[in-house]
Every structure is written in structure tokens, then in C-alpha cells.
Chains A and B, each alone.
Chain A
């Protein structure tokens, strides 16, 4: 390898930058196919009920309506129309039962979407209502059972062991035991226990979820705004009983994903509609409908610590309940993968973790930028601050005392490697000038500062493959199924190809995922692509380069100095021919022991994210103004620092929304604020005026050019850093998200022994 890289570490603009600023980017949103029908979904109005009848006659009779399809109609084509990455629990359209308000019950198809939408209003469904459960703690013991039977999917190796417990709402229970927590609690000088809650929120990608399907001769093409084209192909083929090669999945650039567009969302529905009608069918959700499709897990986290008087944490017990909603989606993986880091990035010798994925009658929960980690860090980093304050310790000092250092065993027993936890913490502290005095304000405006640090393991084991094609002029085509949803993967992967091939990245063309052409990738999720696909792309590039070198040797040409076009000309007599390189990557991994969660190698790499916050609180109204935010991460060596920078601010800003503003409000299971009018995501005035990001100096061994994932890292610590700063400002501890002005004001009044009296 060359000593100096030219394409790596280069902050080049995105390959598709020009298309994006001129409005020419082609999203699935814009797709139109000849003869296409538009589908509009009729949705359940009850949270839990048996379907007594669905009267579609008036809708069917409306002029311009092609057809109305219900779950019963699908049975003719697919006898078992259930899908899901963990459990085959979700019907393509509701069958027998509905399990949440907003569940898809029927679809109207028409050439004019306005007609389809009008016809939906004419459908009448009757239900025998069943008792419903919405809260994750109640779901543990509730008599209301969301699913009568559960069938594990068996698709992913990390979820092979799922069983589900009959007559309960528990989709997965996860246990970890490290050391002897019970004994250590008995020996500890102090024991602290707190409970923290997070709310249900939605990803709200600005390109709302959209899929289309086009039937062919023994073939089906699905066009979808999906983060997981390979999984879509596999799952649709399984549903139809077809070969994978009969299903083609094409994905354009995504207008945002954030975890919302994973696994199966609308793809199974458009697939069966297209096959039933023999017409292309497109379903594009509205912003409102996205709230009925996938969300982020609400959680309850009870955390208990045994601490010695010098501040050393010697025991910890974590009980986490994940509210998965009506369908498991990827919730079991969220529960398990995030489960083993529930204790935080601290060196705690005795730790017990119990984590439960639960069914309720809410809209389903799945992955959302952080895969459960922000919910955990919210609890353990708030808890850490409370302990420090109770012990009269500085909140940085307690972290320094307990931080999980290189080489020390994590709760799973895996020794920490290449995880710059301590460095990230120290950089946050240094940038905040933690050792300097801080002006805490006076009068009605009080100021505070806080910090927090969190970490995450990557999903494992997973597979990525890539193919690099070299044209006779030396330009390259990269075929991979990683989806660029805005995170910049096309560009950074092109930089890897370019570095190996010694050409400018601008000469690399990256194909959009198309399962007929682009080889398998597990999915674009969980910050896994840079490392996994990055390695596959590097291997494919090296394979291609090695073939070029061999070609040169065969032709008795000096391999290092012969220009590539010259090689092709000599080999083929003209500008002709192709060289193809292939790369496949599966990192080493040791699955955890089923009973105690212990593993020698629980993750291919760790992601670290710390946040520091300075803010001001209006004590008369509870308004919090974040004045400054610093996000520091260990992402290894960034491939494209400018893109990483945008990923960091983007992640943190999204988490500011989840911390301060966003919450899906439910009334008997009905979301009452499913629109941007009432569900407020951060705008320009909601972000801190001073916003800083830092990537610590780090290198991830085994990663492509030392780079690892970063899309989620700046989400981890935002919520607790804000809560800790509020505590610093006004002595008030908030334990539930979001921290709205009213919640701050009410808590302040309780602190003053003058609780707000409701009217």
C-alpha cells in the first residue's frame, strides 16, 4: 500500500451533490410506471379487536376505483401472509384481528390517487373490541395478549434462538450476568436506584415511505425506498414461495431513512397487489401515515447501583422494558444488542441485566438511529450524575473514576479494544473547560452545564459483499447493495475504490442497489456499512487490482507502472474488455452464552459518543435554551471528514428533537399528533447557536483505512447531557423525555413544594 493516501481523508463533495442541488435526484417518491395503480390504505380505528366485517361495497362502486383488496383476498395468493425479521407476526393486511389504531386493513386501488383516497372514506369495518395494553410495564402482566401464537422468522443468525412465550406479551427476554451483583450490592456503601422513561417518537423521513411493484412473466420488480434491498428480495421470495432470482428489488437514493425504511414496510403489500391485479401498483404514504407504520421504542429503565464512598461503582442491576408495539419488527434485536451495554461504558465488576421486548397495542417500534442506545444512555448517564451529586463528587470525576479502559472486560466479558472511551470523555471535558468556573446566572434565568458519554456495539454477525468493475479506460463501477439515504455511503465507498485503484473518486460510478445486479448486503443500518461494506469494497477493489497486476505479468508489462488503459489495449487489441473484482466480508464474532450473555468477542467494533451542553433555563416558564453543544466521537479514522461532520450534527440535532420536543401523543391508541403541525421536529431556531463536533484521533484495526461507523454516535449522549445541565442549573432532575417547558416548570414547582394544581 502507498504510504500516503490521496482519496482517503478527503472531504470531497458527495458524488451526487450536483443532482441534489438542482432537484434532479431521482427518488422512488417520483416513480411513475405505465398503467400504474395507486393504492390508498384503509386503517383500523380500534387498538385491539376481532374483525367482524369489512364492507367495501360503496368504495368498490365509486367511479374510477379499480379494486378494493382486504386480507382475505391475499390468502388466495399467499396462504400464510405474515412477515417480519424476528417473528413472522405481521400480516400483509390485517387478518382476523387488528392490533393497533392505524393498522392497514384494506387497500383501494385506482389510477387516480384522489379517487382512491375518496373511496377509502367509504369503507366501513366493524370490530369486536378486545382489551388493549399500551404500557410496557403493564404488558408484562396484562391479561390483554396481543399475539395468540408467535412464529420465529429464523432469517438472521443473531435471532435464531427466538422462541417467544405463549400467553404473554414477551417477544424476547434477554439476560446478562457478570460477576456477583447480589453480593456486591450487600457490600456497597451506598445503593442508588432510579427509573427513567422515554417516549414514542417517529423518524419522519422527509421522503415518506413509498414502494411500487411491477409484475412480469414469472417475475416481480419492486421499486422501493428501502434500507435493506437484499432482505426485501429474500422475504418477498419467501412469502411467494419463489426463487430469489425471480424478485428484483431496485432502490434509488432515499430521502432519509433513519431506520424507518428497514425490512418489510410496504413492499409485501405492493407485491401482492401487483400480482393480484397484474398491474403496477404504487403506495406512497403521507407524513401522517408514517406514524402508523414504524416508530422508536418507548422504554422504562430501572437502574440500580452499588457504590463505594470513594465513588467506585461495584455493582449494577439494569431492568429494561422495551415497548415494541403490535409487531416485533426488529425490536428483539434492539433489546438484545443494546441490552448488553445497558450498564454503560464503566468498569463494573458485578452486573446483572434483564431486558424485555414487549408487545403492546401501539404502532410498531423498530430501529431508529441508535438501535436503542439513546434510551439506555439517557438512563445510565442521568443516573451517574445523580450518584455524583449525592456523593458530593464532581460529575466528571465520577466518570473518570469508573470509565471502562482499554483491555478491561466489558459486561459480556469481552475485553475492550480500540474504544477511545476515555479520550472522548476527556475531549468533551477539555472543550467545555470543565475545570474553569462557570457562570450559573441569576434571577429568573439560570445556567447550567452537563456532559454524558455512551457507547454501542455493532450488530453481528452480518455479511456484506461488493463487486468492482474496471472499464478499459480505467474508470470503475462499484456495485453494492448499501443504500445511500443521505449518509454519504456512495461517496465514501467510491473513495475506498479510488484509493486502491489509484484514481480520483470522481471516476468511480456507484450503482444504485438493484438485486439483479448488486450483490448481497445485510442492510444499511446500525452504522455497520463503513466497516462491513467498506471492507467488502476494499476486498473487491484489491481483487480487481490484483487481476490487473496478473494481467500485466501475463503481458510481460511492468505491473506498477503500466497505465491501466494501456494494459487493456495490449490485452484486447483495442479499448475493450472488463475486469471484475469481488469482495465478501464477515467479521469474526463469538455469540453470547444463552444464560449469562458472556462472550469472548461480542462485537467487531465499538462506537463511542460524548456530548457536552451549556444551557439556560427560564425558571418562570420552564423554557430551556441550549446555548452550546459539543459532540465528540470515536469513529476511527474518518474517510471523508466533511461528511462525518454533517453526520455528527445531524445525529445530535435529531436527538435534540427527541430530547426536547417530539412525542407521539396517544388517546386510546390513536395517535393524536400525526403531522408536522402538531409533531414538531427541530427547525433552525431549535438548534444551539454554538454547535461543535470533534472526531478524536483514532484508528480502528481491521477496518477499511481505520474507519468505523458514525451515523448514530452523536445521538447517544445528547439527552442525558441536557438533563444533567438542567440539574446543574436549577437543581432539578427530570426522568422522562421529552423535557418540554411544561415538564420542566411542573418539576420545578414540585421541587419548590408548590406543585401545579391542575384545573
Chain B
């Protein structure tokens, strides 16, 4: 079926890229074409958050996005978070707080934390829980993730005043 695939171009972590995609492929499959593995399909239902990506600066589940629909969009993944090889303060906070075990869900939590802190720079614990309640960690690192988000907020604040 010739109309079952198309050529798309989009921004991927700041670079313009193009790809040929099948209409029935999702964005996680698209990102695999670029060798990116930070967004992973796990539950396949948008419930666990392992495939979290940002499209036009908004977090979505990559497994529920048709690849064809990112044509012309700006896609950011965990791989785009480091600046000049330096970890983002959120990533640093996750390491310092030991906020993961197996790490499969971690990129999703980190990206969601970025979105959370962009919207609420000084979140209380309820805001953190609510914002991250759509991400699942089967290793159960939630107490440490909560600490990491608090620490990340502190790091951002001190970076802003420095």
C-alpha cells in the first residue's frame, strides 16, 4: 500500500531530521531508527511513562503517538537533555538521591520532572505526586524519586540565583 507510508521531517533534539515511516508505526519505533533508546515501550498503553517524550515541549507517551504525526514537530527525548556533555541538574538530582534501581522507567521520570519544574518551580509534595502519578516504577523507587524532585527544584533555584 503506497499510501501506508510517508516521508516526514521534524526536529529531533534540536537537529532537523527526516525519516520514512509506516503509518502504523509509533514514535518509539521511529526513535529506534535514530538509535535512540531512552524512550522504551513497556506497558504499551500510555500508563507507565517509560516511553515519555516531548512533542513541541509537551510530554506525551511515545507509544500512543503515530510516527507520521510528528511531521513538522519538535521532538525532544532524554538524549537531548544533556548540555555540552553536562548532566541536567534533574539528572544529577536523580543520581544523588538514588532515585532508580533498574533504570527502565528513569528517562520518563526525568522528563516528567523537567515538565513539572517548568510549570511549578517550587512544587509541594502533593504536586510532585500528582504530576508523576502517571509514571510507574516497578522497583518502587518512589520515596527516592520524591527526594530527587525536591533536590532538583533546589538545584534549579540555586542555579538561577548563582
Contacts and interface: CB of A to CB of B under 8 A. Distances in A.
B39 to A, nearest CB: 7
B17 interface: no
A22 B79 contact: yes
Contact of A684 (B81, B94, B100, B133): B133
Interface string B35-76: 011111011110110100000000000000000000000000
Contacts of B137: 206
B47 A20 contact: no
Contacts of B48: 206, 676
B78 A649 contact: no
Contact of A22 (B47, B78, B98, B101): B78
Given A30-B37, A206-B42, A208-B42, A256 B102 contact: yes
A732 to B, nearest CB: 27
Interface string B128-151: 111011111111111110000000
Interface stretch (A87-95, A484-492, A500-508, A554-562): A484-492
Contact of B98 (A288, A646, A654): A646
Interface string A189-226: 00000000000000111111000000000000000000
Interface in B102-157: 102-107, 110, 125, 128-130, 132-144
Interface stretch (A10-18, A152-160, A371-379, A664-672): A10-18
A358 interface: no
B141 A675 contact: no
A88 B90 CA distance: 49
Contacts of A286: 44
Interface string A668-690: 00000001110001111101010
A20 B106 contact: yes
Given A646-B144, A685-B129, A256 B43 contact: no
A654 B79 contact: no
Contact of A256 (B24, B78, B104, B128): B104
A58 to B, nearest CB: 19
A25 interface: yes
Given A21-B95, A23-B78, A676-B48, A653 B102 contact: no
Interface residues of A, number: 60
A206 B79 contact: no
B136 A22 contact: no
B87 A651 contact: no
Interface in A221-254: 253-254
Tell me which of B38, B42, B87, B128 has the highest count of chain A C-beta atoms within 10 A of its own C-beta. Answer: B42
Contacts of B101: 256, 486-488, 646-647, 650
A684 B45 contact: no
B90 to A, nearest CB: 8
Contacts of A676: 43, 45, 47-48, 136
A110 interface: no
Contacts of B136: 206, 676, 681, 683
A684 B149 CA distance: 13
Given A13-B98, A18-B87, A684-B133, A650 B42 contact: no
Contacts of A255: 40, 42, 102-104
Contacts of B140: 649-654, 682, 687
A595 interface: no
A664 to B, nearest CB: 16
Contacts of B125: 689
Contacts of B128: 684
Nearest to B82: A22
A106 to B, nearest CB: 22
Given A13-B95, A22-B79, A684-B132, A207 B44 contact: no
Contact of B79 (A23, A203, A650): A23
Contacts of B38: 22-24
B98 A287 contact: no
Nearest to B47: A676
Contacts of B139: 256, 486, 646, 650
A291 to B, nearest CB: 12
Nearest to A255: B104
A207 B78 contact: no
Interface of A: 11, 13-14, 16-27, 29-30, 32, 114, 203-208, 253-258, 286-288, 485-488, 642-643, 645-647, 649-654, 675-677, 681-685, 687, 689, 691
Given A17-B100, A486-B102, 7 more contacts: A19-B103, A206-B102, A253-B103, A287-B44, A652-B140, A654-B138, A683-B134
5 contacts: A207-B42, A649-B144, A654-B140, A675-B43, A683-B134
A-B pairs, top 6 by smallest CB distance, nearest first, are A23-B38, A486-B102, A653-B140, A255-B104, A20-B103, A486-B101
